Homo-oligomer: A and B are copies of this chain.
Amino acid sequence: MMDIVADTPAGHLLVVDDDRDICVLLKRFLTRQGFRVTTAGDGGEMIRALADWKIDLVILDLMLPGKDGLSLCRDLRKTSRVPIVMLTVMGEENDRIKGFDDGADDYIAKPFNPHELLARIKAVLYRTRMVPPAPRGGTGRVLWFENWRLDVGLRCLKSSNGTLVDLSTAEFDLLAAFVEHPRQVLSRDQLLDLARGKVEIPFDRKIDMQVCRLRLKIEENPKQPQLIQTVRGGGYVFTAKVSHVEKPAA
């Protein structure tokens, strides 16, 4: 259950399509645009996802194995007010209109232009007022330290030579906590709180491990760490100078 608290995405989308490729590509694209994306291959998975998460918008393929998208759309509307964008296939004009009839908030024909889909998603989200239309101020935060560029919105870390460093969620959150509180000694409890957003019960050594792993990825020489230094009996400090850069709205 990955729960991201540090920087909430623009919204949580659910893509329902039986074509795995489409799911993957859409997930990648929309994630890059700042959304959190969950995918489902059929109606069952969709129901489950909707039960498990608070979904802001559903992108629903018209043709699905088992129960088709239209019926799902209808069903959904009976039980929920979640906005729906239907994916239809070029030429199925009738179905398209039916899609509207059956409660979809918008539709888009496959093959589609991802940017157009994005625009529709934003428009629907805006209309339904679930989420502010543009990514909020914090989303585009980009931070520099040493030779690193940390894009909080995109949740990625690049070296200045351009190589992308692969950080897991937990690693990213921890690093973000450090970078956003440079030159402060952060106790393990504080770090746990900052990185997970939760106050965990017992004194743990999770953080130690996490720090160790993080150091392996971002320190030149992990044995003599420059960025994350340990304060015996206190916690850890991030010692680099951090410069903030505000990314303009896309």
- CB contacts (< 8 Å) of A210 on chain B: these are none
User: Measured between alpha carbons, how far is A173 from B137 in the docked complex, in Å?
Assistant: 25
Kindly provide the distance from the CB of A224 to the nearest chain B CB, expressed in whole angstroms.
Answer: 8
- CB contacts (< 8 Å) of A81 on chain B: these are 161-163
- Is A187's CB within 8 Å of the partner chain B? no
Contact of A111 with B93 at beta-carbon distance under 8 Å, contacts A101-B25, A144-B131 already known:
yes
- A112 lies within 8 A of B93 (CB): yes
Indicate which residue in B97, B135, B170 contacts A114 across the interface (CB closer than 8 Å). Answer: B97
Q: How large is the interface on A (under 10, 10 to 19, 20 to 34, 35 or more residues)?
A: 35 or more
Indicate which residue in B25, B147, B153 contacts A239 across the interface (CB closer than 8 Å). Answer: B153
Q: Which of A228-245 contact B (CB under 8 A)?
A: 229-232, 239-241, 243, 245
- B131 lies within 8 A of A28 (CB): no
- CB contacts (< 8 Å) of A114 on chain B: these are 96-97, 100
- Is A51's CB within 8 Å of the partner chain B? no
- CB contacts (< 8 Å) of A144 on chain B: these are 131, 133-134
Interface residues of A (CB under 8 A from B): 25, 28-29, 81, 91, 93-94, 96-98, 100-101, 109-114, 123, 126-128, 130-137, 139, 144-149, 153-155, 158, 160-163, 169-170, 183, 226, 229-232, 239-241, 243, 245, 247-248, 250
